[in-house]
Chains A and B, each alone.
Chain A
Amino acid sequence: MAPCAKLYRPQWILWSCAFGVAVTLATLLAALLMLVWQSLPVFAHSGVGLLTGTDWYYPEQIFGALAMIYGTAVVSLVALVLAVPLALGAAVLSAEYLPPGPRLAVKSGIEMLAGVPSVVYGLIGVLFLREWVYKGLEPFDPISGDSLLTAGLLLAVMILPTITTLCDDALRSVPAAQRAAARGLGLTRAEAVLHIALPQAAPGILAAALLGLGRALGETVAVFLVVGRQDGQLPGNPFSLTAWISPGQTLTSKLGGPETHIAFGDPLHWSAMIGLALLLLLFVGVCLAAAWGLERMMRRSTDPVAEATP
């Protein structure tokens, strides 16, 4: 295809695309370099203590992010565990069972939900979810409605539409001919979904979940409003449910808080905040890289076409 495409493809299209790519990559690289450069002082001050220290108290220049990393991990885990099964179910329904009309309605509805600004979810969280969690967990005597669990629940709602729509796309990209062939061999519709569509869409579904995780890790405003923002919350047992229903702090709720404004003019404190931002960027980067890598790996092992063609 390439040599014949050259005949009618004007050069400026190629160049403008290359320019776009270059700007994108340069922006990313510049942001990363800036974060690394500005966070050097805090690494000189705290060393790995930034990663392993539990306490954060800037007036005494104590900078340890472990409790925040823990908070980020817990809220993201809760969100994923709740959102992925629901999203997958919704995607199977819309991709495999609904006729075109209702499917379009469901799909565009879900995509609209994905576009609702996060502060709106945050305010809904403050008004209702805090209250529900507080009342619902009354037998366990929660301190207040603000907790890692509340933030995780809210995040689950927020990443649900993103994961659903991506799962739906993954299922729809399985060729219809394969389903028809499966039905022709006598499989029921459910069997065709379970044994043909889902295994082939698995790489895409995994990628969808990891992209959802990336969004959950980076979400700020909504989490900030319901997580409680309590520093130093690191239980002995990371799966302690008492800790999960207690207030905590995430990397984003710290970054979105007032300390970013207070840190102006104090090089070390500022550097510590930038260090948190760098950690966050690295976590999100690792998630996206994992999504990309796993998707490729699984595609190679499940795609019969890829196996047949070298």
Chain B
Amino acid sequence: MKTNAATLGLVLAVAFSTSALAQQALRITGSTTINPVVSEAAETLRKENGLAITIDTAGGSTGGVNALGDGRADVGMSSRSLNDSDREKFPGVDFRPVSIGRDAVSMVVHRDVWEGGLRALSAEQIRGIYEGSIKNWKEVGGPDLRIVFFNREPGRGEWEVLTKFLYPGEKTAPRTNHAMVGSNEETRQKTATTRGAITFLSTPWADSKSVFALGIRNDADSVVEATGPNIANGSYPMSRPLFVITNGEPSGAAKVLIDYLLSDAGQALVAKHGYLKLADLE
């Protein structure tokens, strides 16, 4: 008991000192999808402008929005649009999202499934897998192999995109219990090492070596791949804008960062990490 309390005291002391330190630095948190772009931009700004910036990705997009709303971050990274419940939760906060690019979400599968010949799924089939009524890959034209569905943690931007695609117009997705994975790295690693695994992942993270991205079979029975033009013209259904968000008009270090992300150098970073830059969307 005594050691527990002492540890707690230590943790509190560390928490206070880091929060005092972070007061001067620009605190950024949120989506693991946007993180590589913003981290690289921050690295440049640290060197060239001497800015102090701290970045983390606890809780994904929703974690970023909440941290911003709660005053625990100065800039939120979100790979989903703000919704009414965000604004209801934080009525006093003036969310100012700035889009820095666009990203697609793909259904990704383990090598066995890909080599078994499966290349695309329809929304109906994905719903069946999500709800557990489709249990074997051969039911959707794949190999005879059990389906292992990894759900993404709630609040991840990808989860919002998938459930919006599968259940348009509904407030929440139906309650299902699946094993869960969190960050993009964990998602890719666990999908790559589990036979018959399927999950959904930011498309550029599907490297076609460990995990493989499927196309979407649309109502006209043609397969749409998550390519740049298909995302830009909206024919690929699962894509989302990438936002950095501030509370009120961005100022100071936050403004420097956002201006940089919108500049040619920043947009080149967006493209470098596999996302669509703003110019590609016009």
The residues of A with any CB-CB pair to B shorter than 8 Å are 23-25, 27-28, 31, 55, 57-60, 62, 126, 130-131, 134, 141, 143-146, 225, 228-233, 247, 257-262, 264-266, 284-285, 288
Q: How far is the CA of A94 from the CA of B107 in the complex (A)?
A: 54
Query: Cβ of A59 and Cβ of B172 under 8 Å apart?
Result: yes
Q: B interface, by DSSP: helix, strand, loop or mixed?
A: mixed
B interface residues, tally (CB under 8 Å): 43
| A265: contacting residue among B4, B66, B182, CB under 8 A | B66
CB-nearest residue of chain A to B189? A126
A24-B6, A28-B4, A285-B1 are known contacts. Are A265 and B90 too (CB-CB below 8 A)? yes
Contacts of B193 in A (CB 8 A): 130-131, 134, 144-145
Task: Check B33 for interface membership: any CB of A closer than 8 A.
Answer: no
Query: Cβ of B9 and Cβ of A24 under 8 Å apart?
Result: yes
Query: Cβ of A264 and Cβ of B67 under 8 Å apart?
Result: yes
Report the minimal beta-carbon distance from B61 to chain A, rounded to whole angstroms: 10
At the interface with chain A, which of B95-103, B153-161, B227-235, B251-259? Answer: B153-161
Report the minimal beta-carbon distance from A218 to chain B, rounded to whole angstroms: 9
CB-nearest residue of chain A to B72? A264
Report the minimal beta-carbon distance from B49 to chain A, rounded to whole angstroms: 29
Contacts of A55 in B (CB 8 A): 175
A28-B5, A288-B1 are known contacts. Are A144 and B59 too (CB-CB below 8 A)? no
Contacts of B172 in A (CB 8 A): 59-60
50-92 of chain B: CB within 8 A of chain A: 58-60, 62-63, 66-67, 69-70, 72, 89-90
Query: Cβ of A258 and Cβ of B179 under 8 Å apart?
Result: no
- 6 other contacts beyond A258-B156, A259-B155, with CB at 8 A cut-off? A24-B9, A28-B8, A131-B193, A228-B179, A230-B178, A284-B4
Q: How far is the CA of A38 from the CA of B156 in the complex (A)?
A: 26
Query: Cβ of B179 and Cβ of A230 under 8 Å apart?
Result: yes
CB-nearest residue of chain B to A25? B5
Query: Cβ of B2 and Cβ of A261 under 8 Å apart?
Result: no
CB-nearest residue of chain A to B70? A264
| A144: contacting residue among B8, B89, B156, B194, CB under 8 A | B194
Counting chain B CB atoms within 10 Å of each CB, the highest count among A31, A225, A258 belongs to A258
A130-B193, A144-B190, A262-B66 are known contacts. Are A257 and B9 too (CB-CB below 8 A)? no
Report the minimal beta-carbon distance from A281 to chain B, rounded to whole angstroms: 9
Query: Cβ of B58 and Cβ of A258 under 8 Å apart?
Result: yes
Task: Check B34 for interface membership: any CB of A closer than 8 A.
Answer: no
Contacts of B58 in A (CB 8 A): 258, 261
Contacts of B173 in A (CB 8 A): 59
Contacts of A230 in B (CB 8 A): 177-180
Q: How far is the CA of A265 from the CA of B6 in the complex (A)?
A: 29
| B177: contacting residue among A27, A31, A225, A232, CB under 8 A | A232
Query: Chain B 179-205, CB within 8 Å of chain A: the 1/0 string?
Result: 111100010011001100100000000
A24-B6, A28-B8, A285-B1 are known contacts. Are A261 and B179 too (CB-CB below 8 A)? no
Q: How far is the CA of A257 from the CA of B6 in the complex (A)?
A: 25
Query: Cβ of A264 and Cβ of B66 under 8 Å apart?
Result: yes
Contacts of A143 in B (CB 8 A): 146, 148, 179, 194
| B60: contacting residue among A31, A144, A258, CB under 8 A | A258
Q: How far is the CA of A262 from the CA of B86 in the complex (A)?
A: 10
Report the minimal beta-carbon distance from A266 to chain B, rounded to whole angstroms: 6
Report the minimal beta-carbon distance from A199 to chain B, rounded to whole angstroms: 27
1-60 of chain B: CB within 8 A of chain A: 1-2, 4-6, 8-9, 12, 58-60
